[in-house]
Structure 1
Amino acid sequence: MEEKTTKINPGKNTKIENIKETKEIVIEPVTRLEGHAKIDIFLNDEGNVENAYFQVVELRGFEQFCKGRPVEEMPRIVPRICGVCPGAHFVASSKAVDAVFNVDPPEPAKKLRELYYCGHYLHSHIAHFYALGAPDFIVGPSAPPMERNIIGVINKVGVEIGRKVIEARAQAQKIQEIIGGRATHSINFLPGGIAKGITDEEQKEIEGMAKNLVEFGKFSLQIFEDVVLKNKEYVDLITGDVYQHRTNYMGLVDDNNKINFYEGKVRVVSPDGKEILKFEGKDYLEHIAEHVEPWSYLKFPYLKKIGWKGFVDGLDSGIYRVAPLARLNVADGMATPI
């Protein structure tokens, strides 16, 4: 029997005619993420998955070409790592520069930086919720691939809601522009502070946009409640064992173990929610190491305390997750009420 490789383009309907003759399924490119990647799925003789590989096939090289450059250039270089979350790299690199210069920004500068990052957080997560995640849940996992995109979302929820999404994201972007000097690749943070404050008029403008964004957040939660959580098919998909991994989680918390986005301590909890580690960001390398594989440019960080045990989950695994779910799982609650 001839063995076949089936290549799937995510933007088209690709039908596998005879799964038992297929030994490899290649999904390339992987869409809805920043950077170039592909997925290789290898099947056994019965047509079941034997191995699957998520491969990052593009060399970025930031760690290498940053060497030898003045450290104060880092906040202007590393935001180019990602077109979705440049603000996170801008803030992190600016804080690293503070540490190199051994300076602590004054309180007004810290608050402006944190406000900037809150704007970025909203801007980035609106993009993820509506453009990257919503196509699968709002349009539906059974919808044709060419319909599972932002246009499909707007067609499903209506043009008026689509307009709200665009307006909210623009407001969050505007907050970054006012404080950061530029909306995307910001320039306004300096070692030990910030180059320019905000005027009274800008403060009022930001306050008005922030209030609108809080209401938009409540609106988005209601959409999630109505469209996703009230759909049994989706809930079964989310809570089933197919998409579950029991991993450790990592995120920033304040002194009360409440969620923090700008500073605080890094907290790591087990799959059962028990605290494993809590450390300052400057001590990262004492607790985190990186594993590499020959088939991907992606690095695989793990907890030194547990060690690299391979691509396994559970209590004995050193693998951990970050981002929104992890932030919630490592914290005892939110620092502010809705």
Structure 2
Amino acid sequence: MKHQEISRQLATEIAAGKHAGNERLPSEAQLVKRFNVSRPTVGRALRDLQDQGIIYRRAGSGTYVRESVSPPGAAGTRTSFRQLGFILTSHGKPEIFESIFGELSGLARVHDYGMWWGGTSRPKTEMDTRVEEVETLCEQFIEKGVAGVFFVPFEHRPYNQAANHRIIERLRGAGIPVVLVDRDIGAFPERSPMDLVGLDNFAGGYILAEHLIKLGAKHLGYVVMPFSAPPADARIAGARAAMMTHGLEVPRDFVQTGDPGDVKFVRQVVAGRRVDALMCTTDFVAARLLQSLSHLKINVPQDIRVVGFDDVQVASLLSVPLTTMHQPCRDIAHMAFNTLLERMTSPTLPPRMVLLSPHLVVRESCGAYTNRSR
């Protein structure tokens, strides 16, 4: 929803320090012009922020950023004790993680916490974060005495798994609770003894494959980039399960690993194979695949159906709008925040895995709105 996008953007800017406490925000008229939306949409976005305790209104004056109040009994303690950390290790799905971070920052302010990302207040999504940077960041968190950390682990690469374990053990050894966001530190279906909050990727893969099968697809393939994160393996496993449930053979070459933007690779994927639907681990993979298929004069969805995963903004803006699974970023952030608070309060709780239900978003790329016979 547009008002949620606006409230998330403003919350992220406030958390990043663009607007200080008790500072007046731009007027509703200015926000209408900035976001190119109606006044009621802006009003609803501001009400959301007010409900979260991030802003307050002064009659006849405007809207202001609420200044955090120090917690009772905080006098004489390190001010950094009321800080939380956020570690994002890669640029994958920047839109998703920016949204989650924005929600977490808003929740932190409501509960009188700050949110740290190293020396700034925003996650670094422009480039991959090196192992050395994250390990340095952990030492900074320990020195600052943060109360807890949200950790998006390094993707599933052999040389990064040891780093994931070192980072977690260093934080936990310092008495800092950690909640994993989006993915575990090991390969699917392994589970680490850590709290994890994310999407039910297995169910998402199953629902997408079943959707294609019900539309008439009989020969499915899965396109994945090299060194994908563990959620990709769960999505593929879910798709395999759906195919077997519906009596379809899962071919040995079901999973095709390569660059979907490489026309030569995509030609190999479709040439000589009876594939009538391709699933992709993310919307960005699907977007690149659509470009390559167009270059090969293969029409979507008339010649082949394509689906993605995540429901990022680009999914609805492609030349062929993309059928995908929606990531409930706001719900993920709320569950992750509550899970970290509970872990901070009760360190002996057993480790938990909180998986949220995915939501199928049907658009043109799957062929649901196209009459055709194969």
TM-score with structure 2 length normalisation? 0.21
Higher-RCO chain (CA-CA 8 Å, sequence separation at least 6): 2
TM-score with structure 1 length normalisation? 0.23
